[in-house]
């Protein structure tokens, strides 16, 4: 067998993640490795934690990038806070809410499901009803539901935690730095994310932040965290002044996320949220002008992940194949019940640009016409351009 040189195609990643990674971050990735007890590395770790705190908008001491993808963040959030037999109120309006229930049952917990249609937000009343009718002391909800394109309001749900003496776990894998998120201001107790979406770092790290209330829950467990690798009280000993070895940190990835977070900081969080919002709105204007429909509930659309209803008669697989083969553009198909029904078009981090919006609309329209869905050619780009000119 011949093993050829590695030569992956250069794609424009406008799917549900990963997103593209800048040359700056790729350069950081290839920097020399130092040992995990090297004072230079400690300095890089400290800086990474500060940048993460700024991005989550928190002062939580326990804020660090876990080794592993976003799922490691989810797994760590639940395995540290729940014990076998615990009930957890979970908002389920998409694939990742379902995934939370799955993780909870793996840990011997019982999800109390608050179900809503995929593509609609969950109301705080529904969450409160579940808290009243259960023994749950934990609420879990997805902020940016990547399977539906919903941006879930969090503040009102967070306000319930004091009244019911519960802690709130929020999945911010697709929302961190792509739309407003204020961990301390809203009162989120545990929040985790992934490196490969709006942060534009390769997949492989799961930033997580835990406040004092949640830390008390963790420190007062009756049983050990069932997972050594993700035990936050052990990991945090390495990520604090004691520097007790737990596992070898993936140094290159930590260099990379530090660099990616520096890019976030240079732009400014609020500016970044606004850029995502503006480009998503221009994209939606173009999509609707072409005669297509958005899937997610109006006024609750996630700017970093735009869901478009696939028009009747158009083949999902064939259109996505054409985009990939002819234009090197990746977009995502639907997950679970939405498979074949929607496209998921990510405008994440550095990929959320006017250039990408116009290019995506243009290529989507051309490809749709090839697939037999006829539009008034140019309407999409025209509407987006008008939006940019007036906003
Ligand atoms: N949560 C959400 C909302 C996600 O979108 C994803 C991945 O797309 C995950 C969790 C899991 O992250 P990963 O695939 O990086 O493990």
Q: How far is CA 119 from each of CA 53, 327, 348, rounded to the nearest angstrom? A: 30, 29, 19
Looking at the structure, tell me whether residues 234 and 91 fall in a common domain: yes
Residue 361 CA to residue 284 CA, distance in Å, equals 10
229 touches 75 (CB < 8 A): no
Question: 356-363: long-range contacts at Cβ-Cβ below 8 A with a sequence spacing of 24 or more?
Answer: 356/12, 356/14, 356/279, 357/279, 357/282, 357/283, 357/286, 357/384, 358/384, 358/385, 359/12, 359/329, 360/14, 360/283, 360/329, 360/331, 361/283, 361/286, 361/287, 361/290, 363/323, 363/326, 363/327, 363/329
Looking at the structure, tell me whether residues 214 and 359 fall in a common domain: no
378 touches 289 (CB < 8 A): no
d(CA 195, ligand 1 centre) in Å: 10
Give residue 327's pLDDT.
98
Confidence of residue 355 (pLDDT cuts 50, 70, 90): very high
- Summarize pLDDT for 240-297 with one digit per residue, the tens: 999 999 999 999 999 999 999 999 999 999 999 999 999 999 999 999 999 999 999 9
Task: Provide, for the chain, the percentages of residues in helix, strand and coil under a 3-state DSSP scheme, each rounded to the nearest 5.
Answer: 45, 15, 40
Q: Which residue has a Cα nearest atom 2 of ligand 1?
A: 173
Is 259 part of a structural domain of the chain?
yes
Looking at the structure, tell me whether residues 225 and 317 fall in a common domain: no
Q: 100: which 2 tokens? A: 């939370």
Is 16 part of a structural domain of the chain?
no
Q: For the chain, how big is the Rg over CA atoms in Å?
A: 21
Domain C-terminal end among 227, 242, 266 = 266
d(CA 318, ligand 1 centre) in Å: 25
Give residue 376's pLDDT.
81
Is 71 part of a structural domain of the chain?
yes
d(CA 324, ligand 1 centre) in Å: 22
Give the CATH number, domain containing residue 66: 3.40.640.10
Looking at the structure, tell me whether residues 159 and 283 fall in a common domain: no
* pLDDT exceeds cutoff 90 at 174: yes
The residue range of the domain holding 334 is: 269-390
- Summarize pLDDT for 363-382 with one digit per residue, the tens: 999 999 999 998 888 999 99
Count how many residues are written for the chain: 391
- Summarize pLDDT for 66-82 with one digit per residue, the tens: 999 999 999 999 999 99
Looking at the structure, tell me whether residues 219 and 305 fall in a common domain: no
Is 4 part of a structural domain of the chain?
no
Q: Which residue has a Cα nearest atom 5 of ligand 1?
A: 146
Number of domains in the chain: 2
d(CA 297, ligand 1 centre) in Å: 21
Is 282 part of a structural domain of the chain?
yes
Which of 90, 91, 141, 173 has most ligand 1 atoms within 8 Å of CB, for mutation? Answer: 173
Query: Comparing C-alpha atoms, which of 264, 259, 250 is closest to residue 68?
Result: 250
d(CA 193, ligand 1 centre) in Å: 8
Is 183 part of a structural domain of the chain?
yes
Looking at the structure, tell me whether residues 66 and 143 fall in a common domain: yes
- Summarize pLDDT for 91-138 with one digit per residue, the tens: 999 999 999 999 999 999 999 999 999 999 999 999 999 999 999 999
Q: 289: which 2 tokens? A: 């002008």
Give the CATH number, domain containing residue 383: 3.90.1150.10
d(CA 5, ligand 1 centre) in Å: 30
Which of 66, 70, 141, 143 has most ligand 1 atoms within 8 Å of CB, for mutation? Answer: 70
Q: Which atom of ligand 1 is nearest to the CA of 17?
A: 8
- Summarize pLDDT for 5-51 with one digit per residue, the tens: 999 999 999 999 999 999 999 999 999 999 999 999 999 999 999 99
Q: Which residue has a Cα nearest atom 9 of ligand 1?
A: 70
Looking at the structure, tell me whether residues 210 and 310 fall in a common domain: no
DSSP string, 109-125: -EEEEEE--TTSPPPHH
DSSP string, 216-267: HHHHT-SS--S-STT-HHHHHHHTSTT----S---HHHHHHHHHHHHHHHHH
Residue 99 CA to residue 105 CA, distance in Å, equals 10
d(CA 71, ligand 1 centre) in Å: 6
* pLDDT exceeds cutoff 90 at 148: yes
Helix (H, G, I), strand (E, B) or coil at 356: helix
Looking at the structure, tell me whether residues 204 and 276 fall in a common domain: no
Is 244 part of a structural domain of the chain?
yes
Give residue 200's pLDDT.
98
Looking at the structure, tell me whether residues 208 and 337 fall in a common domain: no
Q: 């987006």: which residue's tokens? A: 384
Looking at the structure, tell me whether residues 90 and 186 fall in a common domain: yes
Give residue 173's pLDDT.
98
Give residue 259's pLDDT.
98
- Summarize pLDDT for 179-224 with one digit per residue, the tens: 999 999 999 999 999 999 999 999 999 999 999 999 999 999 999 9
Q: Which atom of ligand 1 is nearest to the CA of 142?
A: 3
Helix (H, G, I), strand (E, B) or coil at 322: helix
Is 47 part of a structural domain of the chain?
yes
Which of 19, 174, 202, 346 has most ligand 1 atoms within 8 Å of CB, for mutation? Answer: 174
d(CA 120, ligand 1 centre) in Å: 19
Domain C-terminal end among 266, 298, 321 = 266
172 touches 193 (CB < 8 A): yes
Instruction: List ligand 1's pocket residues with C-beta within 6 A.
Output: 16-17, 69-71, 74, 96, 142, 144, 146, 171, 173-174, 194, 203
Looking at the structure, tell me whether residues 47 and 116 fall in a common domain: yes
Domain C-terminal end among 266, 300, 334 = 266
Residue 283 CA to residue 277 CA, distance in Å, equals 10
Looking at the structure, tell me whether residues 313 and 180 fall in a common domain: no
Q: How far is CA 329 from each of CA 112, 199, 203, 352, 376, rounded to the nearest angstrom? A: 39, 19, 19, 14, 22
Residue 195 CA to residue 177 CA, distance in Å, equals 11
């Amino acid at each position: 067998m011949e093993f050829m040189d590695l030569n992956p195609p250069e794609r424009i990643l406008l799917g549900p993640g990963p997103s593209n990674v800048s040359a700056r971050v790729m350069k950081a990735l290839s920097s020399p490795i130092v040992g995990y007890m090297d004072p230079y590395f400690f300095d890089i770790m400290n800086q990474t934690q500060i940048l993460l705190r700024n991005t989550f908008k928190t002062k939580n001491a326990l804020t660090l990038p876990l080794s592993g993808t976003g799922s490691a963040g989810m797994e760590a959030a639940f395995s540290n806070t729940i014990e076998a037999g615990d009930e957890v109120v979970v908002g389920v309006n998409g694939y990742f809410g379902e995934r939370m229930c799955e993780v909870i049952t793996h840990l011997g917990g019982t999800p109390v499901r608050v179900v809503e249609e995929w593509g609609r937000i969950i109301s705080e009343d529904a969450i409160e009803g579940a808290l009243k009718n259960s023994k749950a002391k934990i609420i879990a909800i997805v902020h940016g539901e990547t399977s539906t394109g919903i941006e879930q309001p969090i503040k009102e749900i967070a306000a319930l935690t004091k009244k019911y003496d519960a802690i709130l776990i929020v999945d911010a894998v697709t929302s961190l730095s792509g739309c407003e998120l204020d961990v301390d201001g809203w009162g989120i107790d545990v929040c985790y994310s992934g490196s490969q979406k709006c942060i534009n770092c390769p997949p492989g790290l799961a930033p997580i932040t835990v406040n004092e209330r949640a830390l008390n829950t963790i420190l007062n467990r009756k049983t050990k965290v069932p997972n050594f690798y993700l035990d936050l009280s052990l990991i945090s000993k390495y990520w604090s002044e004691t520097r007790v070895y737990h596992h070898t940190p993936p140094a290159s990835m930590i260099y990379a996320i530090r660099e990616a977070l520096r890019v976030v900081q240079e732009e400014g969080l609020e500016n970044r949220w606004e850029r995502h919002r503006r480009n998503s709105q221009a994209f939606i204007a173009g999509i609707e002008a072409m005669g297509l429909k958005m899937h997610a509930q109006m006024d609750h659309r996630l700017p970093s992940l735009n869901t478009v209803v696939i028009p009747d008669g158009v083949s999902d697989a064939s259109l996505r194949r054409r985009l990939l083969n002819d234009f090197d553009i990746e977009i995502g198909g639907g997950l679970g019940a939405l498979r074949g029904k929607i496209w998921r078009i990510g405008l994440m981090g550095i990929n959320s640009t006017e250039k990408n919006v116009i290019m995506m609309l243009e290529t989507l329209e051309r490809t749709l016409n090839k697939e037999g869905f006829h539009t008034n050619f140019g309407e999409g780009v025209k509407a987006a351009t008008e939006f940019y000119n007036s906003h």
